[in-house]
Amino acid sequence: MENNFIIAGFGGQGVLLAGEVLANAFMLDDKNVTWYPSYGAEMRGGTVNCEIVMNDIEDVSSVNKAETDYIIALNQASFDRFLKKIKKGGWMIANSTLVKELKPRADINYIFAPVSALADKLGNVKMANILSLGVLAKISKLVSVETLEKALDVVIPAHRKHLLPLNIKALKIGYDYDMQIVNI
């Protein structure tokens, strides 16, 4: 099975980091995984995204995919840009703190979770990215919170380890968020 994910948002929202955590989690689960960023003349405050391809059949995954199974959109621009890229029956996970709760397509699933607001309540708005991974874990069932915790431990460098407990808390808040999952 192959699944691909795009995580997108403003520069500074931790988009690439969230992707790295997710990719590490898949690696820890012995899956083949490829992570690559949108790469160009990026700037702070502009949009940024990365794609993660998880594969447990092929050893080498193709890149530059036409369609995506899961999108995490942390801002409105990302929601608008990637909406059309979702596969039929795929998932849009949107940060409803910054994204309007509209459903322009009828053939995909939507989750609107106010991850920025929830992260703010937790004490650090920067945790919105990790919170959204908790949401993804819940709805996709492709990765567990436990593996994501281990991946956080791998990704967070030694001098930032004091932030690990808060990140794990964010992950759990995302996972436990009472989502109205309306399957299409």
Partner 1 sequence: MTECLTKTGKKVLTKGNYAIANAAVLAGCECYFGYPITPQSEIGEFMSGKMQELKRAYVSAESELAAINMVIGACSTGAKAMTSSSSCAVALMQEALSYAATDELPIVLVSVMRGGPGLGNIYPSQGDYNQATIGGGNGDYKLIVLAPATVQECVDLTYKAFYLAHKYKNPTVLLADGLLGQMMEPVEFGEYPYPEVDNSGWALTGAKNRPARVIRSYAPSADERCEFLNKLYAKYKLIEDNETEWEEINTENADIILVSFGSPARNAKSAMKECRKLGLKVGLLRPITLFPFPSKRIAELANIAKKFISVEINMGQMIRDIKLAVNGKCPVELLNRPVGNPPSVDEIVERVKKESGVL
39 touching partner 1, by CB under 8 A: yes
CB of 62 to partner 1, least distance (A): 4
| Residues 8-27 within binding reach of partner 1 (CB under 8 A) | 20, 23-24, 27
Q: What is the DSSP string of 51-120?
A: EEEEESS-SS---S-S-EEEEEE-SHHHHHHHGGGEEEEEEEEEETTTS------SSSEEEEE-HHHHHH
36 touching partner 1, by CB under 8 A: yes
Whole-number Å distance between alpha carbons of 157 and 152: 9
Q: Which residue has the tokens 């992707």?
A: 19
Report residue 151 as tokens: 């991946």
43 touching partner 1, by CB under 8 A: no
What is the pattern of x (binds partner 1, CB under 8 A) and - over residues 132-161?
A: ----------------------x--xx---
The contact set with partner 1 (CB under 8 A) reads: 20, 23-24, 27, 32-37, 39-41, 58, 60-66, 154, 157-158
